[in-house]
């Protein structure tokens, strides 16, 4: 006992002196800094979306390289704590030829995120759109076999996921595999035509092998329409039952002031999460027009003015969806907006070229809209 007491005493004395020396040293550092008259560190005084939601989930934004400097970068750093590359990780861009990868813009975004402590969601590894020409064909121009295509998928996933291993925390592994028509199940894409449904599970397995720590998502749109919920649920259940390494479901959230309803949204979240999957809203925006899929010309006289009525509908809808998100914070692990501000969004070109849209929480001058203030009022 006696001995132990002495040893303890010695330790305590050592700790005491270490504290003293430490304090003096730190003090000197501070004095040194003060003497050099360094400008006071910039303190962010205004709260951003990410701060209001810090006890809920990360708030992300889809970006391209050109958003990483100037006023967009400032807005991103003030408001968001996660980014998703909008286009540059899609296969067409990142893997344009069989033996060539193009990392330039993707590296830029990941480095920016790392430098500023933002999370990165990878988007995406396997999709029916924006694929490079070489992918499904052999050198003679014939469709490749299933084993060739699965090997190509594996190489692609190993290379891309490997490139950002440990720096990208979540991947959209499969994007939009469910068909648009209620009569069909899996979309009849080249992936499906060549490999059958199996390519889906395989993609998750490859991604998991490439980075066992990355959180893997199935991602899709119109995910709250009751009929589509059933088909997505069916696919997810098959994957979960087969012990495929899937972690969550990404609900894109390309919504409008007309849908989803509160009930549809709640039902969808409840249904998907009943499988033990986490839910993320991965591409959120809120069009002021009804949803349309096919590209078309602007009709004569078709207005693109944000009237007070439309604005009010958007405010109400944004308020409603964020209330629901907060209610489900136990299963929601991220909400990502698709683009930074109304100054420019992909909805200015799609589905109607040149028809202005106003889908985000920041206006064309990058200032918070009324909807923003409703979203952070809780
Ligand atoms: C889908 C894709 C996204 C993007 C949008 C439009 O939702 O998942 O990558 O192409 O369409 O920008």
34-58 residue pLDDT tens: 344 444 444 556 899 999 999 999 9
Average pLDDT, the chain: 92
Pairing of strands 332-337, 59-63: parallel
Shortest-distance atom of ligand 1 to CA 219:
8
pTM (predicted TM-score)? 0.88
Q: How far apart are CA 32 and CA 26, in angstroms?
A: 10
Whether the CB of 283 sits within 6 Å of ligand 1: yes
CB 221 less than 6 A from any atom of ligand 1 = yes
Residue 287 in contact with ligand 1 by CB distance below 6 A: no
Is the pLDDT confidence value at 7 over 90?
no
> In a 3-state reduction of DSSP, which class is residue 143?
strand
Answer whether 272's CB lies under 8 Å from 279's CB: yes
Domain that holds residue 39: 1-43
Instruction: Tell me, using a 6 A CB cutoff, whether residue 172 lines ligand 1.
Output: no
Mark whether 283 is an active-site residue.
yes
Are 145 and 233 in the same domain?
yes
**Nearest alpha-carbon partner for 237 in 178, 191, 188:** 178
Q: Does residue 234 share a domain with residue 162?
A: yes
Whether residues 202 and 120 share a domain: the answer is: yes
* CA nearest ligand 1 atom 8, residue: 175
Same-domain status, 116 and 14: no
Predicted confidence (pLDDT) at residue 324 exceeds the cutoff of 50: yes
* Between 28 and 292, the higher pLDDT residue: 292
Letter string b/e over residues 364-377, b meaning 16 or more CB atoms within 10 A of that residue's CB: eebebbebbebbee
- Among 86, 105, 176, 374, the one annotated catalytic: 176
**Ligand 1: distance of its center to the CA of 151 in Å?**
25
Measure the CA–CA gap between 97 and 134, rounded to whole angstroms: 7
If asked whether residues 9 and 135 sit together in one domain, one would say no
What CATH number corresponds to the domain at position 163? 3.20.20.80
Judged by average pLDDT, the poorest of 10-14, 120-124, 128-132, 247-251 is 10-14
> Which residue, of 28, 43, 58, is where some domain finishes?
43
Residue bearing the CA closest to ligand 1, atom 2: 175
Largest pairwise CA distance in the chain: 95
Q: Give the SS3 label for residue 173.
A: strand
Of residues 161, 275, 142, the one with CA closest to residue 211: 161
Helix (H) or strand (E) run with residue 23 in it? helix 2-35
Across the range 122-150, mean pLDDT stands at 98
280 pLDDT more than 80 = yes
For residues 31 and 69, membership in a common domain is answered with no
Q: Answer yes or no: 105 catalytic.
A: no
Q: How far is the CA of 34 from the centre of ligand 1 (A)?
A: 50
Beta bridge partners of 194: none
Q: Please check whether residues 25 and 123 belong to one and the same domain.
A: no
Q: Which of 86, 224, 283, 374 is catalytic?
A: 283
Same domain, 168 and 217: yes
Torsion 171-251-150-93 (CA) sign: negative
Atom of ligand 1 nearest to the CA of 252: 7
Q: In sequence order, what DSSP letters do the residues of 25-70 get, joined into one string?
A: HHHHHHHHHHHTTPPPPPP--SPPHHHHTTTT--EEEEE-GGGGSH
- Torsion angles phi and psi, residue 207, rounded to 5: -65, -40
Same domain, 258 and 169: yes
Residue 3 has pLDDT above 90, yes or no: no
Q: Specify whether 264 is located in the same domain as 122.
A: yes
User: What is the per-residue pLDDT for 23?
Assistant: 44
Contact 361/318 with Cβ under 8 angstroms? Answer: yes
34 and 106 inside one domain: no
**Best residue among 283, 294, 345 to mutate for probing ligand 1, ranked by most atoms within 8 Å of CB:** 283
Give the total number of structural domains in the chain.
2
Which band of pLDDT confidence, cut at 50, 70 and 90, is reported for residue 17?
low
* DSSP-based three-state secondary structure for 236: helix
| 283-310: pLDDT as tens digits | 999 999 999 999 999 999 999 999 999 9
- Residues 56 and 35 reside in one and the same domain: no
* Number of other CB atoms surrounding residue 14 within 10 Å: 10
Q: Tell me which residue of 167, 246, 233 sits closest to 203, measured CA to CA.
A: 246
DSSP label of 284: E
Ligand 1 centre from 62 Cα, in Å?
Answer: 10
**Nearest CA-CA partner of 345 in 361, 326, 324, 360:** 360
């Amino acid at each position: 006992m006696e001995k132990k007491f002495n040893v303890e005493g010695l330790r305590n004395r050592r700790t005491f002196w270490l504290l003293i020396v430490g304090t003096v040293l730190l003090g000197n550092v501070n004095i040194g800094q003060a003497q050099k008259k360094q400008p006071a560190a910039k303190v962010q005084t205004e709260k951003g979306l990410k701060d209001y939601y810090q006890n809920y989930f990360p708030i992300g934004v889809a970006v391209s390289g050109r958003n990483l400097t100037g006023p967009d970068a400032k807005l991103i750093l003030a408001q968001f704590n996660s980014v998703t590359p909008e286009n540059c990780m899609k296969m067409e861009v990142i893997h344009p030829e069989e033996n060539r990868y193009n990392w330039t813009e993707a590296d830029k975004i990941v480095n920016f995120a790392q430098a500023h402590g933002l999370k990165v969601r990878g988007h995406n590894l396997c999709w029916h759109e924006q694929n490079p020409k070489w992918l499904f064909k052999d050198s003679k121009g014939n469709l490749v076999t299933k084993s060739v295509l699965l090997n190509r998928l594996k190489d692609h996933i190993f290379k891309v996921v490997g490139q950002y291993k440990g720096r990208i925390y979540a991947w959209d592994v499969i994007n939009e595999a469910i068909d648009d028509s209620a009569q069909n199940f899996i979309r009849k894409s080249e992936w499906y035509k060549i490999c059958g449904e199996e390519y889906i599970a395989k993609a998750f397995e490859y991604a998991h092998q490439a980075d066992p720590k990355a959180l893997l998502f199935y991602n899709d749109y119109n995910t709250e329409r009751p009929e589509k919920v059933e088909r997505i649920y069916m696919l997810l259940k098959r994957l979960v039952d087969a012990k495929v390494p899937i972690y969550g479901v990404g609900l894109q959230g390309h919504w409008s002031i007309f849908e989803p309803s509160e009930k549809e949204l709640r039902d969808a979240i409840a249904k998907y999460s009943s499988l033990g999957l986490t839910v993320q809203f991965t591409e959120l925006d809120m069009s002021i027009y009804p949803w349309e899929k096919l590209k078309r010309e602007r009709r004569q006289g078709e207005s693109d003015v944000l009237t007070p009525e439309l604005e009010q509908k958007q405010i109400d809808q944004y308020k409603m969806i964020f209330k629901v998100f907060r209610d489900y914070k136990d299963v929601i692990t991220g909400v990502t907006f698709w683009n930074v501000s109304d100054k420019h969004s992909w909805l200015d070109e799609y589905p109607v070229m040149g028809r202005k849209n106003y889908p985000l929480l920041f206006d064309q001058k990058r200032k918070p809209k009324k909807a923003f203030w409703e979203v952070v009022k809780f």
